[in-house]
Structure 1
Amino acid sequence: MDRAGSVRDLASELLALKKSSGASFARLSEQTHYAKSSWERWVNGKQFPPRDAVESLARLCETDPAPLLALWDEEDARRTAPEPDEANEAGAPEAGDAPEGASGEAPAGPTGRRRRALWGALVLAVLLVAGAAAYGAVALTGSDEPSAAPRPKPAVKVAAVRTGCTLTGCEGRDPKKMNCGADAVTVRTGSIPKDLVIELRYSRACKAAWGRISFAQVGATVVVNNSDGAAQADVVHFDRDVYTPLIAAPDDGSVWACASLPKSGEPSCTGDFVPSREKAQQP
């Protein structure tokens, strides 16, 4: 199945669910935190939907989300997989090449062993001559220093994390979709007694952060803020966890996350995180 086909198949399933529920795009927007224009694009196959949106629709229609999420996972893996040309860059063996010993020829007899012995003797002689020449050069110069400096070792290149955005370009976007989770770490934590856990997640590659809460109840809210006055939030609609969209986390700015329970106006927050002060602690 091609990529466009998978998107259309997923969209057709979403459309069938929407029709069976009788809900309008406006109603879907009211019941979730996604705009009705976004729902129109996803249901009609114009844009690939977030995983959370697919699960939200299944829950609202009181149907098992597992088949839809499996279809979503399959398409997401296909969308993020490298193109065939990129996969071939790893250096597959050329057609017709065969490993040593796979030519089908019989093992060499006494003649082969004699040739190997002669080559071994020749290589040993060359090494002895080279060693003697090097020793003579040192004796003539009167120095223990080698005649030539050793070649520097090649630098090891570390592959950079490929992300879909950085800084303010990440505002409001999904950290998973932007691949910001590839190098993300939890830099601050907090809690609301007894069980709710608050996390401030940070990606150095994206220069962005987001908030996440776990073991929460439906209606609990998580908000991520930065010192430039920007904020992103999300609410637990089902299950017990949720994370916010991304927010910019400049090196010299601060970011923090807060959470509150449905019937409580008192938020609980993590401490501030300033990336430039803690770079050495990042992986």
Structure 2
Amino acid sequence: MPRWRDLPEELDPQVREFASQLRRLVDRSRLSVSAVADRTGYSRSSWERYLNGRLLPPQGAVEALAEVTGANARHLHTMWELAERAWSRAEMRHDHTLEAIQVAEARAALGEFGPAPAVGGNGRGGGAPPKPAKKAAKKAAAQSPAPSPYPMTAPAAGGPQRPKRRNYAGIAAVAGAAALIILGSVVAVTQLGGDDKKTADDPKKSPSASEKKLPNGVKCAGDDCTGKDPEEMACGGMEFANTPDSVAVAGATVEVRYSKSCDAAWARISGATPGDTIRITVQPAGEKAVTRSAAVTSGGTTYTKMVAAADSADAKACVDRTKSGAGKACTGE
């Protein structure tokens, strides 16, 4: 039985080569994955993800592996930088694909209610009717980087089908009855206990790992993640994190990285120089801001520790490159 699983076929060639190089170093050292974890200070589950191409290791893990295996740290770091850039490009393509799919689905859903009546120049109609939203959704889905997981069904032969009539009165009655049941349940819970009411009345509170069912490998959620490394907690990577916002400053890019699985955000910078600093700030409306910072010490990439965030819109990433004469910038400004 082979020691390693096949690497994912969709991996970028640079990432695939880097993961293969890590495997060769481990094989050459004749160490088990558990031994590598013990000697580098990174968990066994993290190294399994790194070596199987499911997650790009942080710079610290790469440096620790080079020391443990006796590899040339400078050459290994060069390979890591190339893989990191390729990984970031793949994440951006993934984010854009999801956005295109969501837009297509939203347009298709709005199209179920039919096109709005046309309005002419006099406000009384007579203008050309707008194109149905479903056609726009089909066009958007066809132009997206990847096909929608919810393909539209073509009409049966014999001509276009008429849209199904919906019993909106019946739907409203059912919705009203459901609302009354839910309201009664909320009143009952409110009357039974005080502590439960406080939690229910706080919509911005991030659930902890004990309150939220986490995906396999993920080790924290919400407040439990604040101050912890996103890679070590398995909150990063394309599987669990995305980039909702970013800003570029003189060749360097700082990103807000957000994981809904972990309900946490952090800042990451690439293309930086030693001395640059980054900061992640999370501030829900009416609450005190929480921040974490990190400085670039070597290479061009680093990231901060995490801060609990129930909504990615509450997170802002900033970079300070004044030491290199490039200035400052923040996302969302």
Shared fold per TM-score greater than 0.5: no
Rg: which structure is higher? 1
When normalised by structure 2's length, the TM-score is 0.37
